[in-house]
Amino acid sequence: MKNLKRNLFRNWLVWGLVICFCFFIFQFFVYIAEKQNTETTINSFTDALWYGIVTLAAVGYGDMVPVTVAGKIMGSVLVLSSIALMGTLISQFTNKIRQVMDNKKLGYMGTKMKDHCVIIGWDNFAMNVAKWILESGKKVAIVTDNKNDIDLIYNKFGDKNVFVLFSAYSNTESYELLNIKQSSSVFINFNDDSETLVRLLNTKQIYPDLNYIVSLNNAELKDTFKAAGVTFSISNHEVTSKLVASYNFEPDVAYFTENIMSSAKDENDHDLVEFKVNQKNKYINYKYIDTFVSLKETYNAVLMGLSRKEKGDYTLFKNPKSNMIIEENDYLIMLVDGNSKNQLEKDFFQKEGRI
């Protein structure tokens, strides 16, 4: 992109210098043609330049005009040139505006989003994922190789919290336009697991330190993708089959599970969230059971477990022992409603989610 801009600037500069040089030469000949006539108003080279400028600008004050045949011929050329020049400039300006608008729409101007979610690979499943991410208050940057997707995405989600890049998926260097290094997670989503693996490896080669998430068709490949550096992988069919099975013999559990897999907006909505325990958090050094009781009484939030970094990776403790001590940088996992989530974000001095 920088090389393209540099080349365009160089081309415009060269053509501008050539045009200016030709203009000066042309006006010099106008002066030569006029200076021998006593009735002319063009008595110097600067007069010729002034006449040429006001003529090309289509102003034509009439204070200086050629009187010789050669001067009138060259003046006519200037008049016709001014028409062509204005038409060219207007056309170039219009094309430039259109090009800038097209580049912006296609994502070539880039984004300055931070802590956003990047989605590589667009389909109906990715659309549903984007919907839940946006409802949770996060921003989304999307890569698609289909131009028709761009208008559909912006029409559905708007452009306030969404950025779309039109690019070949193989062009991983273009992901810089997503500000991908400042993203909170990268979701790689393709129908074919082998393609997902290729895109993961290619992307991770350039951006090795990001948080990668993938969707799989074959749940047996989870270990393979974990070894490739995936933070989290999920099988669409596996989740669906578990919910369907649960509906058959534990319908209330299934309804409850489906209900909490959404974003809580008010007291009637519920969601599973996680908050990092920072230095300002009052629950540092609390026992798990004391934290559980306090969260329930103060916020009507149910502490379900916590995640703790051990040996470089986070370990999930589901319903840990009562005497387990809450430490800084732990993540508390809670069942909350919309009101309690908002209050927790204020009192914990942060938004929900992995930081």
Fold of 117-240: Rossmann fold (3.40.50)
- Residues 178, 179, 180, 183, CA torsion sign: negative
DSSP conformation class of 350: S
pLDDT, residue 164, reads 96
Report the range out of 43-57, 266-280, 297-311 with the highest average pLDDT. Answer: 297-311
Residue 60: pLDDT band (50, 70, 90) is low
pLDDT tens across 209-235, in order? 899 999 888 888 888 998 888 888 887
Query: Could you tell me the CA-to-CA distances from 129 to 19, 242, 247, 258, 268 in Å, in that order?
Result: 55, 19, 23, 14, 22
Rounded average pLDDT over 13-39: 77
Report the percentage of the chain scoring pLDDT > 70.
93
Whether 1 shows a pLDDT value over 60: the answer reads: no
Instruction: Specify the amino acid at residue 212.
Output: Y
Q: Which burial class, exposed, middle or buried, applies to 15 when counting CB atoms under 10 A from its CB (0-12, 13-18, 19+)?
A: exposed
Terminal-to-terminal C-alpha distance of the chain: 31
pLDDT tens across 77-98, in order? 877 777 776 777 777 778 878 8
pLDDT, residue 355, reads 66
CA distance 201 to 230: 10
pLDDT, residue 83, reads 72
Helix (H) or strand (E) holding 50: helix 45-56
Nearest partner of 122 among 156, 69, 169, judged by Cα: 169
Helix (H) or strand (E) holding 175: none
pTM of the model: 0.66
pLDDT, residue 195, reads 93
CA distance 137 to 351: 9
pLDDT, residue 10, reads 73
Fold of 2-106: Helix Hairpins (1.10.287)
Neighbours of 295 (CB within 10 A): 21
CA distance 326 to 279: 12
**Contact residues for 121 (Cβ-Cβ < 8 A; gap 6+):** 143, 144, 169, 188, 189, 190, 196, 199
Whether 70 shows a pLDDT value over 90: the answer reads: no
pLDDT, residue 112, reads 93
**The domain 264-347 is classified under which CATH number: 3.40.190.100, 3.40.50.300, 1.20.1250.20, 3.30.70.1450?**
3.30.70.1450
DSSP SS3 for 341 = helix
* Domain boundaries along the sequence of the chain: 2-106, 117-240, 264-347
pLDDT, residue 4, reads 52
pLDDT, residue 281, reads 92
pLDDT tens across 191-200, in order? 899 999 999 9
pLDDT tens across 134-181, in order? 887 889 999 999 999 999 999 999 999 999 999 999 999 999 999 999
Rounded average pLDDT over 13-42: 77
pLDDT tens across 244-299, in order? 677 677 788 777 777 777 676 777 778 888 999 998 899 999 999 999 999 999 99
CA distance 122 to 148: 11
- Residues 347, 349, 353, 355, CA torsion sign: negative
pLDDT, residue 176, reads 94
pLDDT, residue 196, reads 93
Torsion angle, alpha carbons of 166, 169, 170, 175, to 10: 60
Q: Residue 297 corresponds to which tokens in the numbers above?
A: 């009484």
